[in-house]
Amino acid sequence: MIRVLVADDHHLVRTSIAHLLNAEADISVVGEAADGEEAIRQARQLKPDIVLMDIRMPGIGGLEATRKIHRFTSDVRILVLTAFLEEAFAQRLLEAGAHGFISKGCQQDEMVQAIRGVFAGQRYVSPEIAQRLVLSRIDSSDNPFDQLSQRELQVAMMIVNCQKVADIADRMFLSPKTVNTYRYRIFEKLGVHSDVELTHLGLRHGLVDGFSEVE
pLDDT of 215 strictly over 50? no
- Give the other-Cβ count within 10 Å of 114's Cβ: 25
CATH tag, 2-138 = 3.40.50.2300
Fold classification of 144-214 is Arc Repressor Mutant, subunit A (1.10.10)
- pLDDT surpassing 50 at residue 210: no
Mean pLDDT in residue range 36-46: 94
CATH 1.10.10.10 maps onto the chain at: 144-214
Tell me the whole-structure pTM to 2 decimals. Answer: 0.68
Helices (H), the chain: 11-22, 36-46, 61-72, 87-96, 108-119, 127-138, 150-160, 165-172, 176-190, 195-204, 211-214
132, pLDDT greater than 80:
no
Task: Collect all residues with Cβ–Cβ distance below 8 Å to 180 and sequence separation of at least 6.
Answer: 165
Separation of alpha carbons 135 and 85, rounded Å = 11
Give yes or no for residue 131 having a pLDDT over 90: no
pLDDT tens per residue across span 56-95: 887 788 888 999 999 888 789 999 988 766 666 777 788 8
